[in-house]
Amino acid sequence: MLKLAPLLLSAQLALAVLFVSVGTQAEELDYVYNSSVMIPMRDGVELSTDFYFPKEYDGKLPLILVRTVYNKRQVFGWDPAWIELVSQGYALAIQDIRGRYESGGDYNVGVGRREDGVDTLDWITRQDWSNGKVALAGCSYQGESQVVLAATNHPALVTAVPMWPASGYYSPGRAWQAWSGGVFELGQTAGWFAGSGSKVYTQPPEGVDRGEFFREFGGKIEMTPTVDFARYLEELQSLPTIDVLQRAGVPPTDFETWRKSAPDGDYYRGLDLVQADDEFSIPALFMDSWYDYGATETLEMFAQFSANGRTEAAREHQYLVIGPGTHCSFNEVSENTTVGERPVGDARYPHHELQIDWYNYWMKGEKNGVLERNRIHYYQMGDNEWRSTNQWPPAGVQPERWYFSSVNGANSLRGDGVLSTTQGIRSMEDSFTYDPGNPVPSLGGHTCCTGTDTEAGGYDQRGIEQRRDVLVYTSEVLESDIEMVGRIFARLYVSSSARDTDFTVKLVDVHPDGTAYNIQEGALRMRYRNSLREAEMMTPGDIYVADIDLHTTANTFKAGHRIRVEVSSSNYPRLERNLNTGGNNYDETRYISARNRLLLGGQYASYIDLPINVSRTKVAGDSSN
């Protein structure tokens, strides 16, 4: 028997034994399981890969490839479609990417993935059992791995099903969705690195074959140092931001580099993500959801795969499904689906059957009618029903401008802030004090990986709206339904007593009983108002334009409801607090309060543009001051 090697971080860390092995699962499920096959890369590093084959298979097989950052031994059963595909005559390969779990090399997020993917495909297609056809699968980082590998146009690739893959797309200032309007997505990014960013893994003893070691001990040992996530969440409440993971005892990660880099700086531009000029040769079936962090970027990739298609199949056969849920949540829908606390009706969808039919059509030529459907299926929240279209946004969608106004001030729900389609003639302003020591708390929204119970989804915002540092603008009761679908933008005219501060905007659907569910949100760090690459401080008291992207969704504001917008300067800990000093922010512990103003009416009429499907929406009621 081999002797266990200590973790590289500390020779004294204990190795815990796990009692359930994937090999046992495979035997019970009647598969042939070949674990910890070491596939050599061009630089000599070996990537550990598990293979699943149908028992007593005869002849050559098509293969489904999953490249994961989340431990291949714990991924197999995540998508029931993969199990069924193996039973239908596919091979399935799940690979730990470079530097993660059983694979060799150094782990650097978003680096060198195309080369490793190509080397993996070359090795697979040389095997006696391979028929030379490979499809891609997986969600989140695994979806990201798919789109990046698809950009190589490797001849073995036939199709892909990128699920929640937005982190694989480079949108300036939104790399990996770690930033929103120049504001660092602290809760999501730090939370992901705390849970999944470790560079430290158990290694075989010197001179011991890597594959042999992990075939003996894989699934039976603790691969990484244990992270005390509760301690991390406590540390997240204190400053500075830059060493929050170190203070919590998290092993080394790339987090510090990610936070120090500018939102559209050279570091992010150099990551191995899908770029705007990438071309694609394969059809793909994209999946995402409205309370995920990256539905907008998934829509952009869907369009790019079509526009930059090298083949007819790529140009004509990109498909997309967007549900109402949170990140990678397609298995969680029911006839009474709730997203966060928000009920959204019967959101069931045949995700499982669709995947099976998709793979069988492209990999086996099965005539199953999978292409006899509109290319985009999306869930219209509010109406709580599935819709389909062949273009995005759907035909008939036009921006409708809603202006903010007040008489005595819109501070909190007790104020008199009004949201109206009529622009106020008189120039007015609302103001509030933003104190970084008492930021507006996060409650739901469009994120993942924070480790909190209310990280994503729709939640009643009325508690937050009681704060005087939240400006609240509400429409009159709607006389008819207003169907919104598409991308949302706000333009604020603002000033501040500080050299730098943030502005946040949240769109809310107010039900007749007063319940106020968050629909979408966005933010802007004012130093990045002109460029997400170069910072430019404000002159205190001067007026500036703050253009804020609230990203994309589909929601019908029903008759009897009201539309509400919240404007503030924080959403913590989802977004990193701006300390208002004009300094680096990430390495500071001192902060100052800022007196922030929002201008209304006249020359500086702040507003939000809602994408309204006018072909399905009657003229809404209106009011103005």
pLDDT at 31: 84
Element (H, E) at 117: helix 113-125
CA distance 81 to 440: 42
Instruction: Determine the straight-line distance between the first and last CA of the chain, rounded to whole angstroms.
Output: 81
3 state SS of 565: strand
Break the chain down into helix, strand, coil percent, rounded to 5: 20, 30, 50
**What percentage of the chain exceeds 70 in pLDDT?**
94
How much is the pLDDT for 176?
94
> Could you give the CA distance from residue 455 to residue 100 in angstroms, rounded to a whole number?
26
> Structure tokens of 230?
């509760």
How far apart are the C-alpha atoms of 10 and 8, rounded to whole Å?
6
Q: pLDDT tens, 248-291?
A: 999 999 999 999 999 999 999 999 999 999 999 999 999 999 99
Strands 376-380 and 318-323: parallel
- pLDDT tens-digit map of 345-387: 999 999 999 999 999 999 999 999 999 999 999 999 999 999 9
The confidence band for 77, taking pLDDT boundaries of 50, 70 and 90, is: confident
Distance CA 46, CA 38 (A): 5
User: What is the per-residue pLDDT across 211-224, written as a single tens digit (0 to 9) for each?
Assistant: 999 999 998 999 99
pLDDT for 623 equals 39
Contact 381, 344 (CB under 8 A): yes
Do the beta carbons of residue 131 and residue 62 sit within 8 Å?
Answer: yes
- Check whether 15 has a pLDDT greater than 80: no
Give the per-residue pLDDT at 616: 81
Of residues 141, 137, 153, 42, the one with CA closest to residue 94:
137
Cα angle 549, 553, 554 (rounded to 5 degrees) comes to 145
pLDDT for 13 beyond 50: no
pTM for this entry: 0.93
Quick check: 541 and 495 in contact, CB under 8 A?
yes
What is the rounded CA–CA span in Å between residue 454 and residue 587?
27
Alpha-carbon distance of 232 to 228, in angstroms, equals 6
Query: What does the pLDDT read at residue 618?
Result: 59
Contacting residues for 266 by C-beta, under 8 A, at least 6 apart: none
- Residue of 226, 218, 273 lying closest to 49 (CA atoms): 218
Alpha helices in 200-269 (DSSP H): 210-217, 229-235, 244-247, 255-260, 266-269
The pLDDT mean for the chain works out to: 93
Strands 482-496 and 607-613: antiparallel
Torsion angle of the four alpha carbons 194, 196, 199, 202, in this order, in degrees rounded to the nearest 10: 110
Domains and CATH numbers, the chain: 22-332 (3.40.50.1820), 397-613 (2.60.120.260)
Average pLDDT over residues 574-591: 98
CA nearest to 340, candidates 440, 445, 439: 445
Burial class for 380, CB neighbours closer than 10 Å (0-12, 13-18, 19+): buried
Amino acid 331: pLDDT: 86
The residue whose two tokens read 């603002």 is 494
What phi and psi, each to the nearest 5 degrees, are found at residue 322?
-125, 115
Confirm if 432 and 471 have CB atoms less than 8 A apart: yes
Banded pLDDT at 615 (limits 50, 70, 90): confident
Distance CA 403, CA 371 (A): 43
Q: Kindly report the backbone phi and psi dihedral angles of residue 277, in degrees, each rounded to the nearest multiple of 5, phi listed first.
A: -100, 5
| Mean pLDDT, range 162-171, rounded to an integer | 97
Q: Dmax of the chain from CA atoms?
A: 83
Instruction: Please write the tens of the pLDDT for every residue from 289-310.
Output: 999 999 999 999 999 999 999 9
pLDDT tens-digit series, residues 100-136: 999 999 999 999 999 999 999 999 999 999 999 999 9
- Evaluate whether 394 touches 613 at the Cβ level (below 8 Å): yes
| Helix H or strand E encompassing 313 | helix 312-316
Which DSSP symbol is given to 41? P
> Which amino acid type is present at position 496?
S
Which residue type occupies 381? M
Return the exposure string of 553-564: e unless at least 16 CB atoms fall within 10 Å of the residue's CB, then b.
bbbbbbeebbbb
Residue 351 corresponds to which tokens in the numbers above? 């995700």
CB atoms inside a 10 Å sphere around CB 248: 19
pLDDT digits (tens, 9 = 90+) for 19-58: 223 343 444 557 899 999 999 999 999 999 999 999 988 8
Rg value, the chain, Cα:
25
8 A C-beta contact, residue 356 and residue 84: yes
Average the pLDDT over 457-472 and give the result: 98
Res 625: pLDDT: 35
CA 384 – CA 542 distance, rounded (Å): 44
- What is the C-alpha separation between 610 and 507, in angstroms, rounded? 10
